[in-house]
Amino acid sequence: MFYFQLIKQQLFFILFLLFIIIDPSLQQSCKPQTGLTSIYGKDYYVWSLRKDVDFFNTNVVPNNVITTVVTQLSQLPANSQIPCVIKQSKKRVLDWVVWDRNFTQVDQSQLVLNNVKKFNADGLTLVIFQAILANESTQLGDMVAFYRNIFKDYHFSIVLPFAPMNYYPIIKMASNVDHIVLMAYDLGTQTNVIYPNSPYGKVRDGLNQYLAVSSGLKKKLILSLPLYAYWGNCTAKTNNLFSTNPCSVTNTIPQALPYSAIYSIINSPTIENSGTIFNTTTKTVMVNWRNDKVITNAQYDNPYTLYLKIKGLDIQGIGFFRLEQIIGVPEQHLNEFYYSTDSMNLYP
């Protein structure tokens, strides 16, 4: 009898813990999100690898603006409430998986589907940026169609390079996805010279190449923009604090730097810097700062250059990669990033 009472007490204790851990109202909010629209009338994607719930309740992830949060579900703890917290504020949650050039994907797709179901997520974003051969075009199109079938009851988007790669079956892929997200960043970092991360001309050219394939892609395309800079220590003696010359760096290639770090440098009372310098050609900005006689340069985008880049774009929406890069930026300035996106609704 004693053992029966002990087991009974333990069962009640376990049920009590479950009641605390699993908030019924939170679980109710985990239902699939449909009909989502930003206050700007567009789809709004953001990427994040954060694993702490509190982050998604901050002003970095504002309500009524963001429609979709993309994260890597496989990296979350099994009991993570992050997807539910995000969906509670009326946002779509998508898994984030990089294609590994396996054209069958049977095993991986099932693992991804299981994760989506486990976390009550709304679907998948499949990142595809590898080059393919001419005879692989049909296989790639079939693979995307295969994923569409697996995720027929979910949202399914793909992420592609800023300009169409050779042999990509764009039309076939577009017919099997809800959105095509274009990576409009890392467009000038393959040498030891610092170039803008997302120059206006390259971004618009890449976008126009997609639209040249089919004007119908307008309602599918999401333009994803960077929230980070590329920086390096300049080697040329001709570079001074206010130089606009291209900066050759001591490291092999420029390194990434969060926008929040750039903001801190520009507004620092102790770091000697040039302030924001606007490049009229690339419509991006840069900053130089001095550190023990060494000039360091960073090329980046701020709310104004993002405003110019997307002004008048008649596409489905935009995105930011990644939200962690603006943590710590004052709320007023943080909001300027989101306000700048309203320029999509203006005449170019």
Of 3-7, 50-54, 227-231, which one has max mean pLDDT? 227-231
143 within some domain:
yes
100 within some domain:
yes
pLDDT surpassing 70 at residue 252: no
**Residue range 49-65: average pLDDT?**
86
Q: Residue 147 burial (CB < 10 Å; 0-12/13-18/19+)?
A: buried
233 within some domain:
no
Q: What is the pLDDT of residues 8-28, one digit of tens each?
A: 444 443 333 343 344 444 444
252 within some domain:
no
β-bridge pairing 155-161 and 123-127: parallel
Rounded to 5°, the CA angle 315-213-128 comes to: 75
Closest by CA to 74, choosing from 94, 95, 90, is 95
The first and second tokens of residue 165, run together, are 């790669």
Question: How would residue 173 be classed by pLDDT, with cut points 50, 70 and 90?
Answer: very high
Least confident of 25-29, 64-68, 229-233, 333-337: 25-29
What residue numbers bound the domain in which 330 lies? 31-228+301-345
pLDDT surpassing 50 at residue 319: yes
Query: Contact, 260 vs 329, CB < 8 A?
Result: yes
176 within some domain:
yes
What sections of 158-222 are H helices per DSSP?
A: 170-174, 200-213
145 within some domain:
yes
Q: Tell me the residue type at 316.
A: Q
Query: Contact, 77 vs 118, CB < 8 A?
Result: no
Q: What is the CATH number of the domain that holds 163?
A: 3.20.20.80
pLDDT at 320: 95
CB within 8 Å of 338: residues ≥ 6 apart: 62, 65
Report the share of the chain in percent with pLDDT over 70. Answer: 87
pLDDT at 97: 94
Total tally of structural domains belonging to the chain: 1
pLDDT at 30: 73
Q: What is the pLDDT of residues 201-217, one digit of tens each?
A: 999 999 999 999 998 99
pLDDT surpassing 90 at residue 306: yes
Question: How would residue 106 be classed by pLDDT, with cut points 50, 70 and 90?
Answer: confident
